[in-house]
């Protein structure tokens, strides 16, 4: 049955029809087919609406109000305009979704480790890319944003680790947005390919110049072969008027470990979605997140964990604080397939409401078809503890500051679990800046 | 999925059809069907709705209400979101009215299916009661107790207290002002597919009104309402507890209920005014189908209570062991400040049973509190889902919710699912939700077996422990039978 598509959905399809012949790798028949199939999948539903269960709480109608620009913005970006590098590792820089070799840094980090842009590899080594892009289910119904990304895919980062390779210092990926009134449409597709027993830490930062505005619809496809270990850490601080959707699909094989962390604080409407498949015994995933929202922001954290084999483990902790009229959404689904005995899945979601008009919608979900399992989830919502507040106030700590101390303390459960790395410092800095923003305002006024 | 515009088109064309058919008949109240007949012809149309209403000698406003519901129902689509699957229901291939007929029952217990009798024995149902349940001829309900007629005594006691307890049809005749005021005020005729169907064709059910300040002197139960020996397919129950009153109502019984009607779509509405309390307990043991999943009742029920008044309280307790498919979400709308909603549930599924059940707690008033304790037990090839919503509205200052959903799995081929929705729009409201899933521990089983319990008894004991918090909410007589029922429902699930 065909469905009347929204105007915005039709804009995407029209632009796809116009651009498909010019996208990177358009001459590769297999890639053209993936794009075409993805476009057709997107065509079934168009941009998701709250009538779809998976999008019940997050409405992308904000997209309709954006002026969408598909072409690159002619902005000049120099290295000194970008935030400083986090550590000693390599850095890949994407400006408005396009890889910039000139701004990137130390990409040759050793034998068996490949850091590159997808667009470059599509011309340099398409044979390497083909099997990796092919089987990630762009056409799965129910994932229209992934399909939309699939239709337009042409650039993004590729991190490929040979067996036993160790990347050492964290690899930083910077997605930098330039300033502009119109919303630049950016749909990077990234690949992380970790062969057996390889390891790497990857830090993704999504940010931009002061008044940047984007429609970001990214997708990252990750495979971890037996024994591989990947840390995948993200900070999403996109410009205020942006719409941000990021879908991560990870397949974890025997004894491999995938750790995901997201700090979400940017954008007008943003969704970070992690789909994890634990495919063989010993596979482990840890999914953590912090969301901090104010104003009229809507921040959505959605996770799906599929335990497809015996003896797999998943631990998940998401916490957030909401102020103003902000709203946060947490959807966490744990699915234990028949025969996946020995599954251990724990999920927790806790939210602090700091204002009268903030809202949290949370939906932790268990779907279990095996009996030798340990599965639990918990969710709480509430305000700051009045007694703790009183305690701090009675010791002469001003209200805004006391509030900050308590919010930071609340989020500690997530940040404390992180090792003392440059990324942990970055996250703590963001948290401190967020809770302190009220203090600064007050100081300026007062 | 249909687009909005296609749906609208369908709705529009359906409305046109409906109006056309009404116009063709010029709104005449004449009936195509013979109202003297005991059974309405197969199928569902406006004439059938009129037939039911005429049979019950209902006032015009009620007929209009039924017709409004029926017309709305025709524009609706059957929900497909519950985690249950069943072949499509042909609503035209069913009878919607048949007068209760004296059944040609067996002449003694010797003629009753021995399997049924064995179950009665295990439940500890006395012999006399067994005869009634099995429909043995010439045994009146009164015989359950030795000397006095229970019915007479209990009617006198209730009348003295001013409690109205009768069938919904009697209430329509004797207390139309109450029925008109409250029916549909909690579950509107347009609420959902099955409730709307019920609104159009309901034929039976109970009506309870507890006057101001009265504590109902006894537990009310459909079981004792003489004319309710045959519970209808489309029951409608309305309970109103006026200011400062209290009532405890029991629905169903632990004995297995066989019924030839496969589809059951009941509606229950509860209304609690200031300081009033309603405690509603259900034991549902409809025929679940055989061990191959053949047959069994589809139980699609809408139950909702409104805590209208300050300090009011509504408490739902349910033990769901029967039915091939259970689809019910007894809910509380906490309107009055300081009102309290509770939901205690045990859902046991075995063989091919499917249950999608839970609750909704909608907090509107200040300092409202709700508590959800749901225990799901899945065995065999069954699927059990807890689905619930806790919603804190902006004015629900200082409100609290605590939810606990535990699932127990027995066997490798069953499923247990938890789908809670939590929506909070008030910072001073606190919501806590916890859910766990586990299996019966080998250690516990071993311990029980070592002490000489059979495997079935051991499972029953452990499961009863798992359900303890809910069982203790049931009225005492019920609780004892329910414990036995828990064991019986899981027969054949281990070993």
> Does the structure show a pLDDT above 50 at B141?
no
Sign of CA dihedral A16, A18, A19, A25: positive
Contact B1 A360 (CB under 8 A): no
Given a cut of 60, whether residue B4 has pLDDT beyond it is no
Least confident of A245-249, B124-128, B290-294: B124-128
Q: Looking at the partner chain, which of B1, B3, B412 has a beta carbon nearest the beta carbon of A370?
A: B412
**Containing structural domain, residue A138:** 7-280
Q: What is the average pLDDT across B186-193?
A: 94
Interface with A, mutate which of B363, B370, B401, B425 (most A CBs under 10 A): B425
CA distance A172 to chain B (A): 36
Chain A residue numbers touching B441 (CB-CB < 8 A): none
Q: Assess if residue A131 is contained within a domain.
A: yes
B387: nearest CA in chain A? Answer: A365
CB-CB under 8 Å, B429 with A381: yes
Picking from B407, B418, B494 by the largest number of A CB atoms within 10 A of its own CB, the best residue to mutate is B418
From the list B431, B433, B439, which residue is nearest A371 (CB)? B439
First CA to last CA across chain A, in angstroms?
A: 61
| For B428, nearest residue in chain A (alpha carbons) | A383
> Hey, are the CB atoms on B411 and A371 less than 8 Å from each other?
yes
Q: Has residue A225 been placed in a domain?
A: yes
Q: Which of A358, A362, A375 sits opposite B436 (nearest CB)?
A: A375
Domain match, A390 and A276 both:
no
pLDDT by residue for chain A (446 residues), tens only, comes to 445 789 999 999 999 999 999 998 999 999 999 999 999 999 998 999 998 999 999 999 999 988 888 876 667 888 888 999 988 899 999 998 889 999 998 777 788 999 999 999 999 999 999 988 876 666 666 789 999 999 999 899 999 999 999 999 999 999 998 887 788 899 999 999 999 999 999 999 999 887 778 899 999 999 999 999 999 999 999 988 899 999 999 999 999 999 999 999 999 999 999 999 999 999 999 999 999 999 999 999 999 999 999 999 999 999 999 999 999 999 999 999 999 999 999 999 999 999 999 999 999 999 999 988 999 999 999 999 889 999 999 999 998 889 999 999 999 888 887 778 889 999 999 999 998 885 555 444 43
Testing the interface with B: which of A367, A386, A407 to mutate, by most B Cβ within 10 A?
A: A367
Q: Are residues A273 and A399 in the same domain?
A: no
Judge contact between A382 and B433, C-beta under 8 A.
Answer: no
Tell me: do A404 and A265 sit in the same domain.
Answer: no
Choose among B407, B413, B427: nearest Cβ to A353: B427
Residues of B in contact with A360 (CB under 8 A): 422-424
Give yes or no: residues A389 and A272 share one domain.
no
Query: How does residue B1 score in pLDDT terms, banded at 50, 70 and 90?
Result: very low
The number of folded domains in chain A is: 2
Q: What is the pLDDT of residue B93?
A: 81
A207 and A81 in a common domain: yes
Whether A234 is covered by a domain: the verdict is yes
Facing B415 at nearest CB: one of A360, A369, A380: A369
Q: What percent of chain B has pLDDT over 90?
A: 47
Does the distance separating the beta carbons of A358 and B431 come in below 8 Å? no
CA A358 remoteness from chain centre: 23
Residue A151 in any domain: the answer is: yes
- The yes-or-no verdict on residue B82 having pLDDT over 70 is yes
Q: Which of B361, B353, B347 is nearest to B420 (CA)?
A: B361
CB B259 within 8 A of CB B285: no
Q: Do B430 and A366 touch (CB under 8 A)?
A: no
Q: Is A106 found in the same domain as A233?
A: yes
Residue among B407, B335, B416 nearest B374 (CA): B407
Which residues from chain A sit within 8 angstroms of residue B410, using beta carbons?
Answer: 371
| Cross-chain Cβ contact B426/A353 below 8 Å | yes
Asked whether residue A37 is domain-assigned, the answer is yes
Write out chain A residues lying below 8 Å of B423, CB-based.
Answer: 359-362
Inter-chain CB proximity A374 and B429 less than 8 Å: no
Residue of B nearest to A352 (CA): B427
Is the Cβ pair B394, A372 closer than 8 Å?
A: no
Last residue of a domain, one of A263, A280, A297: A280
What is the least distance, in Å, from the CA of B269 to any CA of chain A?
28
Residue A312 lies in a domain: no
**CB of A30 within 8 A of CB of A130?**
yes
Rounded-to-integer distance, Cα B225 and Cα B151, Å: 8
- CA-based nearest residue in chain A for residue B420: A363
Quick: pLDDT tens for B200-223.
999 878 899 999 999 998 888 765
Return d(Cα B473, Cα B483) in angstroms, integer: 12
Q: Chain B partners of A380 at a C-beta cutoff of 8 Å?
A: 430-433
List CB contacts (< 8 A) between A363 and chain B.
419-422
Euclidean distance between CA atoms B75 and B18, whole angstroms = 10
Instruction: Give chain A positions within 8 Å (CB) of B4.
Output: 4
Query: Residue B404, class by beta-carbon neighbours within 10 Å (0-12 exposed, 13-18 middle, 19+ buried)?
Result: middle
Task: Give the distance from residue A83's alpha carbon to the nearest chain B alpha carbon, in angstroms.
Answer: 36
Do A394 and A262 lie in one domain? The reply is no
> Three-state secondary structure along chain B?
CCCHHHHHHHHHHHHHHHHHHHHHHCCCCCCCCCCCCCECCCCCCHHHHHHHHHHCCCCHHHHHHHHHHHHHHHCCCCCCCCCCCCCCCCCCCCCCCECCCCCCCCCCHHHCCHHHHHHHHHHCCCHHHHHHHHCCCCCCHHHHCCCCCHHHHHHHHHHHHCCEEEEHHHHHHHCHHHHHHHCCCCCCCCCCHHHHHHHHHCCECEEEEECCCCECCCCEEHHHCHHHCCCCCCEEEEEEECCCCEEEEEECCCCCECCCCCEECCEEEEEECCCCEEEEEEEECECCCCCCCCCCCEEEEEEEEEECCCCCEEEEEEEECCCCEEEECCEEEECCCCCEEEEEEEEEECCCCEEEECCEEEECCCCCEEEEEEEEEEECCCEEEEEEEEEECCCCCCCEEEEEEEEEEECCCCEEEEEEEEEECCCCCEEEEEEEEEECCHHHHHHHHHCCCCHHHHHHHHHHHHCHHHHCCCCHHHHHHHHHHHHHHCCCCCC
Give the residue from A222, A250, A280 where a domain finishes: A280
Residues of chain A neighbouring B356 (CB-CB closer than 8 A): none
How many angstroms away from the CA of A312 is the closest CA of chain B? 16
**Which chain A residues are closer than 8 Å to B434 by Cβ?**
376-378
pLDDT at residue B81, rounded to an integer:
85
Assigned domain for A135 exists = yes
Q: Which pLDDT score, from 0 to 100, does residue A141 have?
A: 65
CB pairs under 8 A between A and B: 125
> Is residue A423 situated within a structural domain?
yes
| Segment B25-81, tens digit of pLDDT | 332 332 333 444 567 778 889 999 999 899 888 999 999 999 999 999 999 999 888
**Which of A248, A280, A312 corresponds to the end of one domain?**
A280
Give the separation between CA A192 and CA A158, rounded to whole angstroms.
6
Min distance A324 CA to chain B CA atoms (Å): 11
């Amino acid at each position: 049955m065909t469905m009347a598509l929204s105007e915005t959905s039709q804009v995407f399809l029209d632009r796809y029809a116009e651009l498909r012949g010019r996208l990177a790798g358009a001459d590769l028949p297999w890639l053209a087919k993936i794009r075409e199939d993805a476009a057709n999948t997107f065509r079934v539903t168009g941009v998701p609406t709250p009538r779809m269960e998976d999008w019940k709480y997050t409405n992308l109608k904000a997209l309709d109000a954006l002026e969408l620009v598909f072409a690159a913005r002619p902005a000049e970006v120099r290295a000194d305009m970008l935030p400083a590098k986090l550590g000693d590792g390599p850095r890949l820089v994407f400006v408005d979704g396009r890889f910039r070799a000139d701004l990137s840094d130390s990409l040759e980090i050793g034998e068996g480790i490949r850091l590159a842009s997808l667009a470059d590899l599509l011309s340099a080594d398409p044979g390497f890319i083909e099997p990796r892009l092919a089987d990630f289910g762009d056409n799965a119904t129910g994932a229209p944003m992934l399909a939309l990304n699939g239709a337009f895919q042409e650039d993004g980062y590729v991190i490929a680790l040979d067996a036993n390779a160790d990347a050492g210092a964290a690899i930083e990926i910077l997605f930098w947005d330039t300033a502009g009134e119109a919303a630049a449409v950016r749909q990077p597709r990234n690949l992380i390919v970790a062969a057996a027993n390889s390891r790497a830490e990857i830090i993704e930062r999504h940010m931009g110049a002061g008044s940047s505005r984007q429609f970001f619809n990214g997708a990252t496809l990750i495979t971890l072969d037996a024994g591989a270990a990947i840390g995948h850490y993200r900070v999403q601080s996109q410009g205020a008027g942006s719409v941000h959707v990021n879908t991560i699909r990870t397949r974890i094989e025997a004894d491999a470990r995938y750790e995901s962390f997201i700090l979400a604080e940017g954008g007008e409407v943003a969704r970070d979605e992690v789909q994890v498949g634990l495919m063989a015994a010993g596979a482990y995933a840890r999914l953590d997140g912090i969301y901090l929202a104010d104003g009229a922001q809507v921040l959505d954290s959605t996770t799906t964990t599929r335990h497809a084999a015996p003896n797999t483990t998943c631990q998940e902790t998401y916490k957030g604080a909401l102020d103003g009229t902000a709203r946060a959404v947490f959807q966490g689904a744990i699915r234990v397939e028949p025969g996946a005995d020995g599954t251990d899945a724990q999920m927790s979601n806790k939210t602090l409401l700091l204002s009268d008009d903030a809202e949290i919608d949370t939906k932790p979900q268990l779907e279990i078809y095996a009996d030798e399992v340990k599965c639990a989830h918990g969710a709480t919502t509430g305000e700051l503890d009045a007694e703790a507040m009183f305690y701090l106030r009675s010791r002469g700590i001003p209200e805004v500051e006391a509030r900050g101390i308590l919010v930071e303390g609340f989020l500690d459960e997530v940040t404390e679990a992180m090792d003392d790395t440059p990324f942990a410092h970055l996250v703590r800095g963001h948290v401190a800046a967020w809770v302190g923003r009220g203090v600064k305002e007050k100081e300026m006024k007062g | 999925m249909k687009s909005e515009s296609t749906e609208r088109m369908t709705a529009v064309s359906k409305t046109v059809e409906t109006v056309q058919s009404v116009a063709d008949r010029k709104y005449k109240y004449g009936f195509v069907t013979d109202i003297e007949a005991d059974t309405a012809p197969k199928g569902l149309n406006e004439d059938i709705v009129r037939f039911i209403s005429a049979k019950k000698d209902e006032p015009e406003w009620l007929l209009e209400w039924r017709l409004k519901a029926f017309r709305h129902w025709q524009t609706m689509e059957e929900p497909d979101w519950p985690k249950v699957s069943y072949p499509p229901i042909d609503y035209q291939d069913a009878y919607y009215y048949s007068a209760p007929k004296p059944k040609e029952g067996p002449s003694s217990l010797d003629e009753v299916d021995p399997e049924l009798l064995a179950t009665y024995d295990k439940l500890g149902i006395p012999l006399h009661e067994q005869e009634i349940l099995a429909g043995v001829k010439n045994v009146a309900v009164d015989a359950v107790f030795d000397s006095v007629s229970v019915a007479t005594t209990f009617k006198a006691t209730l009348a003295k207290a001013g409690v109205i307890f009768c069938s919904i049809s009697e209430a329509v005749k004797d207390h139309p002002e109450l029925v008109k005021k409250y029916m549909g005020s909690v579950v509107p005729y347009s609420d959902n597919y099955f409730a709307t169907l019920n609104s159009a064709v309901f034929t039976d059910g109970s009506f309870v009104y507890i006057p101001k300040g009265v504590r109902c002197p006894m537990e009310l139960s459909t079981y004792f309402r003489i004319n309710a020996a045959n519970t209808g397919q489309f029951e409608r129950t309305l309970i109103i507890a006026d200011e400062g009153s209290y009532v405890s109502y029991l629905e169903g019984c632990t004995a297995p209920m066989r019924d030839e009607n496969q589809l059951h779509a009941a509606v229950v509405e509860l209304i609690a005014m200031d300081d009033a309390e309603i405690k509603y307990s259900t034991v549902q043991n409809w025929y679940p189908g055989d061990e191959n999943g053949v047959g069994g009742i589809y139980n699609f029920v809408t139950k909702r209570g409104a805590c209208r008044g300050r300090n009011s309280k509504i408490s739902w307790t349910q033990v769901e062991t029967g039915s091939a498919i259970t689809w019910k979400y007894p809910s509380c709308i906490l309107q009055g400040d300081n009102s309290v909603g509770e939901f205690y549930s045990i859902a046991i599924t075995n063989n091919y049973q499917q249950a999608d059940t839970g609750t909704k707690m909608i907090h509107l008033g200040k300092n409202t509190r709700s508590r959800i304790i749901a225990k799901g037990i899945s065995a065999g090839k069954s699927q059990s889902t807890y689905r619930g919503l806790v919603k804190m509205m902006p004015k629900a200052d200082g409100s609290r919710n605590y939810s606990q959903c535990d699932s127990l799995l027995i066997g490798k081929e069953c499923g247990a699912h938890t789908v809670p929705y939590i929506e909070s729009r008030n910072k001073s409201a606190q919501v806590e939700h916890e859910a766990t899933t586990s299996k019966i521990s080998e250690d516990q089983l071993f311990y029980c077996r070592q002490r000489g319990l059979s495997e079935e008894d051991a499972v029953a004991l452990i499961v009863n422990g798992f359900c303890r918090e809910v069982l203790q909410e049931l009225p005492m007589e019920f609780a004892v039978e329910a414990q036995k029922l828990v064991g019986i429902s899981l027969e054949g699930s281990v070993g």
